[in-house]
Amino acid sequence: MILIAAVDRNWAIGSKGQLLVSIPHDQKAFREKTLGQVIVMGRKTFESLPGKQPLYGRTNIVLSTDPAYQVKGAIVCHSLEETLEVLKDYRSDAVYVIGGESVYRKFLPYCDRAEITYIDFAYSADTHFPNLEELEGWEMTAESEEQTYFDLCYTYREYRKK
């Protein structure tokens, strides 16, 4: 499984239920990587999507502890164990974990790769991705040339579990 996220220099990913910034090139890359794949997200992440609708062209899996929670066009799971059982039907390299913070932390032990958009800026934030630079067992294996979006600089990084 693959973790995918955009983080700032403090590994922050969001504030008040929203992404820190929208970078069109990064959104396009996310769409291209995940189209035709499986995406796993928490309820809050799902509800932050445009129109609170499943992302088109992907198998959407939404985690919620509410046993009555349902989403038309998505698979709803109520625990990590239930989600892992559902994911057995899919190739591991076709599964992208897309957030939020608690979902990233739950699935981190089951993932062997992370595709990170690293934004060289520090935002005011209330949710964070696990800092792979400080986590034992993870290493950066690739980094793109620096990209810019107006005054923001960012790179694409790949991390792999050792």
Q: Tell me the β-bridge partners of 41.
A: 62, 99
Distance between CA atoms of residues 58 and 139, nearest Å: 28
Q: What percent of the chain has pLDDT over 70?
A: 100
**Cα-to-chain-centroid distance, residue 156:** 14
Q: Are 54 and 98 in contact (CB under 8 A)?
A: no
* Mean pLDDT score of the chain: 97
pTM of the model: 0.97
pLDDT in tens, 27-86: 999 999 999 999 999 999 999 999 999 999 999 999 999 999 999 999 999 999 999 999
Mean pLDDT, residues 12-38: 96
pLDDT of residue 67: 95
**Rg (the chain; Cα; Å):** 15
- Give the SS3 label for residue 61: strand
Distance between CA atoms of residues 124 and 14, nearest Å: 9
pLDDT of residue 159: 98
pLDDT in tens, 86-145: 999 999 999 999 999 999 999 999 999 999 999 999 999 999 999 999 999 999 999 999
H/E element, 129:
none
Q: Which domains does the chain have, with CATH numbers?
A: 2-161 (3.40.430.10)
pLDDT of residue 38: 98
